[in-house]
Chain A
Amino acid sequence: MTPLVECRRVAFAYPVPSAGAAAFTLRDLSLQVQPGEIFGVIGPNGSGKTTLVRLLSRVLMPSGGQILIDGADTAQLSRAEVARQVAVVPQDVPRAFPHTVEELVLMGRFPRAPGRFFETRDDRAAAERAMESVGVLALRGAQLDRLSGGERQRVMLARALAQEPRLLLLDEPTAFLDLRYQAECAGLLRRLGREAGLTIVLVSHDLGFAAELSDRLLLLAGGAAMRVGPPEMVIDEAVLEAAYGCRVLVDKHPISRRPTVHLIYPQG
């Protein structure tokens, strides 16, 4: 089976902003994500997680190596072609203008026909299905800045679904969500993976959330893959302590039996 995402020895360096400042580099990263898989990416700040999201969504081009989406090198694809395969759910969006939920979700149809000025009936139907599937159809006429953080995230998820992508790329989905919305988000992602057959790459600071949802995890540290594998293999005390530089205790979730991480707080 062709992997949906394949990174072959991918490297990336940001241009050095000033002499002496260490520009972050992603080094020699190889990985494969299979169709239908939920793939979690974890790692400390500055380990390259956000860079990986930008590379996979072709906002950045790798300075070395190749990224293939369904066997096609993204360097050979246009932005719109990538956007028909890969949809990104950002942490949040700026709200300078009073766009409605439906307008925002319809923006997800842009890559289908970037030259078109108006959306078609099909576009509107796709947007409606997307809003329906994440439960925001009733909010379609509401302005974004009137919504809660959890509602806004579901709207952004609907926009991504309206792209009808094969890969859903989530950047810190739980960053601004309280517990209830985190639970909702987890349920929604599981359902999308199972029912819609979507492949999901999930970048998260939240180790418990990532371990709970992911089939496999990638632990990034210092711009390189430290370990890839099933959660039980990656969420390991020695491995995490080496990556994060602090002491942790790994336990099992009493219900799901997935690994959970407790931080061992240093004593004053």
Chain B
Amino acid sequence: MSTDGPVSAGRLAVLLAGLGLMVALVALGALFLGSARVPPRDVLAVLTGHVKGVDQVVVLSLRLPRILAALLAGGALAVAGAGFQALTRNPLAEPSVLGVSSGAAFGVIVAQVFGLGSGLVDAVGLAACAFAGALVAGAGVYLIASRAGGMPVHTLLLAGVIVGIFFSSAITVLISVVDFDRLGGVVHWLLGNLGPIAPSGLAVFAVLAALGCWLVIGQARSLNLLALGEESAEQLGVDAEALKRRIFAGAALLTAAVVAFVGPIGFVGLIVPQALRMMLGADNRVVIPTALLGGGAFLLLADTLARNLIAPAELSVGVITAFCGAPFFIYLLRSRAPDVAP
């Protein structure tokens, strides 16, 4: 579709409307599926407000918040991935590959060790700690990988792996030292768990995700220019330093919000923007807004699978995304990397 010519407001609106419809259908489907058997007729009755009791709790208090969390988290991760990719000019960059997710997860565990729970204030505190962790990890990767004249593709990936391993080990140390009960459910959370999100948490999550998306999507046109190199972007009138700071902050915030509320889910930020680029072309004004919807739909599908594959037991959604993402990463590494400028 990249041969359709340059992007315009009309074309983007059509794409977003189509994707929005797809998201709505997937969400509706997810509302009807689950380990607790609620007949479709009863789900409809709950939605129209005619049924109370267990069915209402299952549909409105369990499935609906989980669907919303999946849409938010998937969208946030995909936008963060697209942001990091544009920032580093590396199509393989992504919050978990860059170690930023691990940094944020470390921040969350530290916050939990200090006793932050799930109230509204606690939710803000958790997100703040996750953001601090994400910034430290991101800055670490940048310092390790940057050379005079750029950031070689493979060096950046290695730096991300190293920083990720470091923070994962630090998390393991904390979990081993601290009384396990105070970190209840931490293992499940570390693989990504969209289940137990409180309404206050969901609200904070939505606000932070919106802020992060605004920081990244608003600069989509400048990010296209950054793809040509910082000097070229500056010669066209972009303030490259300010742009990089803004995108880094936005992508780190999105990552931190996801990690704080549903855990460090990997590969969504890699799969979704890449797939969209293959279908729609490289223009960030198309890739990033569609990634918001596409990422939501993808993660919701993955989570619906995770809930239903081995019901009544449940898989972690991160397992599903990793099983999709790892082969995709290998494919990209083998097929695209030689084209990437050093």
Residues of A within 8 A of B (CB): 17, 54, 57-59, 78-83, 86-88, 90, 93-100, 102-104, 106-108, 110-111, 114, 116-119, 124, 141, 143, 145, 163
Decide if A83 touches B235 in the complex (CB within 8 Å): yes
Decide if B220 touches A117 in the complex (CB within 8 Å): yes
Contacts of B220 in A (CB 8 A): 117
10 tightest CB-CB pairs across the interface, nearest first? A80-B237, A94-B341, A111-B237, A97-B282, A83-B237, A141-B3, A79-B237, A96-B89, A88-B235, A93-B228
Contacts of A95 in B (CB 8 A): 339-341
Decide if B234 touches A119 in the complex (CB within 8 Å): no
Residue ID in chain B nearest A98 by CB atoms: B282
| Given A95-B339, A99-B283, A103-B283, also A83-B8 (CB < 8 A) | no
Decide if B6 touches A78 in the complex (CB within 8 Å): no
Hey, what's the 0/1 contact readout for B80-119 against A, CB within 8 Å counting as 1? 0000010001110000000000000000000000000000
With both chains docked as a complex, state the minimum distance between the C-beta of B77 and any C-beta of chain A, in angstroms.
19
User: Cβ of B227 < 8 Å from any Cβ of A?
Assistant: yes
User: Cβ of B169 < 8 Å from any Cβ of A?
Assistant: no
User: Cβ of B236 < 8 Å from any Cβ of A?
Assistant: yes
| Given A98-B2, A119-B6, A145-B339, also A108-B236 (CB < 8 A) | yes
Decide if B341 touches A78 in the complex (CB within 8 Å): no
Decide if A98 touches B340 in the complex (CB within 8 Å): no
| Given A59-B234, A93-B232, A110-B236, also A118-B227 (CB < 8 A) | no
- Give CA–CA (A111, B235) in the complex, Å: 9
Hey, what's the 0/1 contact readout for B220-262 against A, CB within 8 Å counting as 1? 1110110111011011111100000000000000000000000
Across chains A and B, the number of contacting residue pairs, with CB separation under 8 Å, is 109
- Give CA–CA (A257, B165) in the complex, Å: 66
- Give CA–CA (A145, B285) in the complex, Å: 21
Contacts of A114 in B (CB 8 A): 222, 237-238
Decide if A110 touches B221 in the complex (CB within 8 Å): yes
User: Cβ of B177 < 8 Å from any Cβ of A?
Assistant: no
Contacts of B234 in A (CB 8 A): 57-59, 79
Decide if B225 touches A94 in the complex (CB within 8 Å): no
With both chains docked as a complex, state the minimum distance between the C-beta of B290 and any C-beta of chain A, in angstroms.
15
Contacts of A97 in B (CB 8 A): 85, 89, 91, 227, 277, 282
Interface size on B, residues (CB 8 A): 36
Selected from A87, A100, A116, A118, the residue in CB contact (under 8 A) with B2 is A100
Selected from B3, B232, B277, the residue in CB contact (under 8 A) with A90 is B232
Decide if A110 touches B238 in the complex (CB within 8 Å): yes
A-B contact pairs, 22 of them (CB 8 A): A59-B231, A59-B234, A59-B235, A80-B237, A83-B237, A93-B229, A94-B229, A95-B339, A97-B91, A97-B282, A98-B282, A99-B282, A100-B2, A103-B6, A103-B224, A103-B282, A104-B228, A106-B6, A117-B9, A117-B220, A118-B7, A119-B8
Residue ID in chain B nearest A92 by CB atoms: B341
| Given A117-B220, A118-B8, A124-B6, also A99-B236 (CB < 8 A) | no
Contacts of B224 in A (CB 8 A): 99, 103, 107
Contacts of B281 in A (CB 8 A): 98-100, 103
- Give CA–CA (A97, B225) in the complex, Å: 11
Decide if A110 touches B237 in the complex (CB within 8 Å): yes
Told that A79-B237, A87-B235, A96-B227 touch, could you supply 4 new A-B pairs with CB distance under 8 A? A97-B282, A98-B281, A103-B283, A117-B9
Residue ID in chain B nearest A169 by CB atoms: B235
Hey, what's the 0/1 contact readout for B330-342 against A, CB within 8 Å counting as 1? 0000000001110
With both chains docked as a complex, state the minimum distance between the C-beta of A81 and any C-beta of chain B, in angstroms.
8
Selected from B89, B227, B237, B340, the residue in CB contact (under 8 A) with A78 is B237
| Given A59-B231, A107-B224, A118-B7, also A79-B239 (CB < 8 A) | yes
- Give CA–CA (A58, B233) in the complex, Å: 12
From 102 to 156 in chain B, residues with beta carbon under 8 angstroms from any chain A beta carbon are 148
Contacts of A79 in B (CB 8 A): 234, 237-239
Decide if A96 touches B340 in the complex (CB within 8 Å): yes
With both chains docked as a complex, state the minimum distance between the C-beta of A173 and any C-beta of chain B, in angstroms.
15
With both chains docked as a complex, state the minimum distance between the C-beta of B257 and any C-beta of chain A, in angstroms.
24
With both chains docked as a complex, state the minimum distance between the C-beta of B229 and any C-beta of chain A, in angstroms.
5
- Give CA–CA (A142, B237) in the complex, Å: 26
Contacts of A98 in B (CB 8 A): 2, 277, 281-282
Selected from A81, A94, A107, A143, the residue in CB contact (under 8 A) with B89 is A94
Contacts of A102 in B (CB 8 A): 5-6
Selected from B2, B9, B235, the residue in CB contact (under 8 A) with A57 is B235
Contacts of B235 in A (CB 8 A): 57-59, 83, 86-88
Decide if B227 touches A99 in the complex (CB within 8 Å): yes
- Give CA–CA (A54, B265) in the complex, Å: 43
With both chains docked as a complex, state the minimum distance between the C-beta of B145 and any C-beta of chain A, in angstroms.
15
With both chains docked as a complex, state the minimum distance between the C-beta of A145 and any C-beta of chain B, in angstroms.
5
Residue ID in chain B nearest A124 by CB atoms: B6
Counting chain B CB atoms within 10 Å of each CB, the highest count among A80, A87, A88, A98 belongs to: A98
Hey, what's the 0/1 contact readout for B276-287 against A, CB within 8 Å counting as 1? 010001110100
Counting chain A CB atoms within 10 Å of each CB, the highest count among B89, B90, B220, B232 belongs to: B232
Selected from B2, B221, B229, the residue in CB contact (under 8 A) with A117 is B221
Decide if A88 touches B232 in the complex (CB within 8 Å): yes
Contacts of A106 in B (CB 8 A): 6
